[in-house]
Structure 1
């Protein structure tokens, strides 16, 4: 099952992808894609519907983030050994955790903004998962029960803000529009193995990243269990699991985003994102 949210920013409505490829409006049945709707019971109710009897979403409608009411946007750093190597860093003995501000979240095809003064804005295609059931000190063998589904995330990063300024990574990860997610939330039952998904990112038509979640150091189940030791995970929380090699920072010489670039990101079975890169007009 593929769930979406459509409409203008801040006024998105819940929807579902029907078998004929059309988007259908769920707003008469659920308030949004979040909270109790993400539970096994809520998703089972939606799964029992026939989407083809629901109102069709107008063609060309903007897709927003497929999850509403995100409380935490948690990211895992250096979770691919080959990406750690290109970054000049070692694979950590435990997951590196940092937070991305929820104000960075945007739709899958919304523009990526280059902050004023930025010269090192970078891309990162990632597999993200969404929590569907509250998780607190969860054993790894029960961890997947707490996952509602999966989606693509672009962990856009300003490397100077992230690395060259004092302090934590969060400041280089949280600018507005640095968190495109979607297009869909693909429910857990529709993804046979989250640790075997091809990933790809192109910049202005050039393939930059081409990898697989097979090479993740710490998998989804482990991350749910691990994170739940340090914080309670609530329905709607997003966890973005790291990126394979091919980011701009790792190239020789480095290649960063410029206004006019176009990003296209794919994760097998989870759809595609397309973002135009623009200079923030507020700058």
Structure 2
């Protein structure tokens, strides 16, 4: 399966100083844009804030790859976001899963995730040593490019710079450790993934009604279309910006379809060796395996 061309953050084994590079990814390999243009853009975050992603894509398309994909380790595309805000229960069948007889709520359900809870493309999700209930959730991510507060729905998409994919992995039994929050079960280190990279946002048609699908070991578990979302992309940006200023590099993880492992009888939890693929039309494919947390 071919890779969707995108812009990614990555590291190389020889960079022992923790340096994170950025470049243009395609089937042909990786063009290291950071060695050529660090005087203009210190990181992908900088390029996002400057509205430079399309220019970077055009530059990368014209250059020969510096590395094979296998030579690099892909990182979460935005390595230092100010905010990662996730949306729960945003597809009709997900609301029905709760079997509480209630209609969809008037406003989206939200929760935060921390940067360390995500890893990059082709890297393992880590099943923590305190639980066997690691689950998958395939989602589309909006990357904010222009700051804003109280953003009207009519102009909301003007604040989007790019798209990427997320496996919003969850540790299910830790979602109910307290009376009213899910933060613990959503924030185990490297329990989720983002990537492979950023696809520049070109307009509403790019995401208005596209297929989002999650597969585990080749079996389709989740499949729905963004046109069926309870809260569309414009509404999410409008609602979130009511209480917090959205900043360049912020990421909104927009919700997952029905079909997570917890909904099977018996549940189908992820185990080491599983391969999970999240795919969306025009955005690409995010692939991860599963490994157990190292013994302490």
Instruction: Tell whether the structures are fold-level matches, with TM greater than 0.5.
Output: yes
Following TM superposition, where does structure 1 have runs of at least 4 consecutive aligned residues deviating by more than 6 angstroms? none
Identify the residue that residue 265 of structure 2 maps to in structure 1: 252
Measured at CA, do residues 11 and 249 of structure 1 come closer, stay the same or move farther in structure 2, by a change above 3 Å?
same
What is the Cα deviation at residue 164 of structure 1? 4.7
Equivalent in the alignment of 1:267: 280
**Partner SS for 2:110:** strand
With over 3 angstroms needed to count, the CA separation of the structure-2 counterparts of 1:263 and 1:50, relative to structure 1, is: closer
Q: Specify the SS of the correspondent of 2:175.
A: helix
Kindly report the root-mean-square deviation, in angstroms, between the aligned alpha carbons of the 2 structures.
Answer: 2.1
Instruction: State the alpha-carbon separation in 2 of the partners of residues 181 and 255 from structure 1.
Output: 22
2:6 — aligned with what? Answer: 2
SS of 2:74's equivalent in the other structure is: coil
Match of residue 30 from structure 2: 23
- Which residues of structure 2 form unaligned runs of 5+? none
TM-score normalised per structure 1: 0.91
- Pick which of 238-247 and 64-73 moved more: 64-73
1:269 CA drift (Å):
1.5
Task: State the match for 1:56 in structure 2.
Answer: 66
What is the TM-score with the length of structure 2 in the denominator?
Answer: 0.87
Contact 1:127 1:240 in 2 (8 A): yes
Aligned residues: 281
Kindly state the Cα deviation for residue 54 of structure 1 after the two structures are TM-superposed. 5.9
**Structure 1 runs not aligned, ≥5 long:** none
Aligned pair in 2 of structure 1 residues 43, 258: CA closer, same or farther (>3 Å)?
closer
How far apart are residue 49 of structure 1 and its match?
Answer: 2.8
Establish whether residue 12 from structure 1 lines up as the match of residue 17 from structure 2: no
Match of 1:38 among 42, 48, 51: 48
Q: Check whether the contact 2:140–2:253 (CA below 8 A) recurs between aligned residues.
A: yes
Deviation at 1:190, TM superposition (A): 7.2
Q: Give CA-to-partner distance per residue, 1:216-251, whole Å, 9 cap, x none.
A: 111111111110001011111111000001101111
Which residue is equivalent to 1:73? Answer: 84
